[in-house]
Amino acid sequence: MKNFPWKTTRREVIHKSPWYSYIHDEFKRPNGESGDYFYVHTTGSAYIVPQIGSDAFVMIETYRYLNKKIGFEFPGGGLKVRQKPEAAALAELKEETGYTAAELIKIGRQCPMPGVTDEWSEIFFASGLRGGRQKLDPHEAIKVKIFRAYQIDAMIKSGKIWDAPSIAAWQQTKLYLSRGLEQPRPITDAVILNQRGDVLLLKRVQYPFIGSWVLPGGHIEYNETCEQAVLRETKEETGLTTKIVHLVGVYSGLKRDPRYATISIVYLLKIIGGRLQAEKTEAKTAKFFPLKKLPKKLGFDHAKILSDLIRRHGRFF
């Protein structure tokens, strides 16, 4: 099908609340016909599938007023203005379940009802859970429930789980977990040098290697190239805009990550814009170090990556 964009000619905010806006758009189709569209606008949302143990997952039991019934859902909620999805996911997980997560991985995104809302929901998988107290709003009455994978499948089949975003998030999770079992997870890491030739490192606050210094990087998302991933991860974790200089190497040591096997594609990047600022959910500090005075505590196999970089490309430094 060809892309026939509709042109918005007028927009009116009919109602605005802290959670959403109800919008009326007037538009023209490519054939010149005019029309009206009424929809709900939000800043987005985040849903979290938290795994506890080897085959159990945390859900919530809550009452839905519009549906007049109790349902079982994965924790989640709307994004505040200028709030990052990762921060929202961690906050919702803590507020609704009391759990905190050592690891949070984005595994997909969805539009829950494309004919009614422009909202995009980011889906996260959380592991390394630690229990705590819920931080519910006064109007919330939420019970924490733990189910096995087979129980969740059965509850979806029977209609006991009927929340569409939760069903979609569960499907994304099953695809993610099965993919992880079948093959190593592809990731990317960035070697970023300033004008003096110092390398940028982040001090981790998440498992594994909490307190260690590491290169910026992360998982390559579905429908994303390695090059797109390294630039995106760098921007998210450091605030810097960069461009790729060249490939440093590919690393696939079986013990480079204690959680699972990974294959990392490592790039040398050049800074072209932005302002250095560590993304607090993953790293509390971002700092440049001279290549000859690196910190002793380096995470993953990043000491080897930097050693190889100096050995192979020392003429650049």
pLDDT confidence of residue 182: 55
User: In this structure, are 245 and 285 located in the same domain?
Assistant: yes
User: In this structure, are 19 and 91 located in the same domain?
Assistant: no
pLDDT confidence of residue 4: 64
Buried b / exposed e along 42-56 (16+ C-beta atoms within 10 A)? bbbbbbbbbbbeeee
User: In this structure, are 245 and 308 located in the same domain?
Assistant: yes
- CA-nearest of 30, 32, 35 to 6 is 30
Counting beta carbons within 10 angstroms of the beta carbon of residue 235, is it exposed (0 to 12), middle (13 to 18) or buried (19 or more)?
middle
pLDDT confidence of residue 53: 77
Query: At 63, which CATH number?
Result: 3.90.79.10
The encoded tokens of residue 33 equal: 């016909």
pLDDT confidence of residue 315: 47
Residue finishing a domain among 128, 157, 182: 182
Strands 185-193 and 262-274, sheet pairing: parallel
- Per the CB < 8 A criterion, the answer to whether 105 and 219 are in contact is yes
pLDDT along the chain (317 residues), means of 10: 77 92 94 93 96 88 93 95 93 95 92 93 94 84 91 93 95 82 81 95 89 93 88 94 96 86 94 90 88 94 93 62
User: In this structure, are 193 and 266 located in the same domain?
Assistant: yes
Residues found in the chain: 317
pLDDT confidence of residue 179: 64
- Per the CB < 8 A criterion, the answer to whether 227 and 247 are in contact is no
CA distance to 175, 177, 221, 261, per residue, from 182 (Å): 11, 9, 17, 10
User: In this structure, are 50 and 36 located in the same domain?
Assistant: no
Helices (H), the chain: 85-97, 149-158, 164-182, 226-238, 302-313
User: In this structure, are 52 and 150 located in the same domain?
Assistant: yes
Q: Which residues pair with 78 in a beta bridge?
A: 45
Residue finishing a domain among 147, 182, 217: 182
| Torsion sign (Cα): 218, 221, 226, 231 | negative
- CA 102 – CA 153 distance, rounded (Å): 26
User: In this structure, are 85 and 36 located in the same domain?
Assistant: no
Q: Range of 153's domain?
A: 45-182
User: In this structure, are 213 and 296 located in the same domain?
Assistant: yes
HSE of 222, CA atoms in CB hemisphere, 13 A: 14
User: How many other CB atoms are there within 10 angstroms of residue 113's CB atom?
Assistant: 13
Q: DSSP class of residue 219?
A: E
**Domains: count for the chain:** 3
Helices (H), 183-276: 226-238
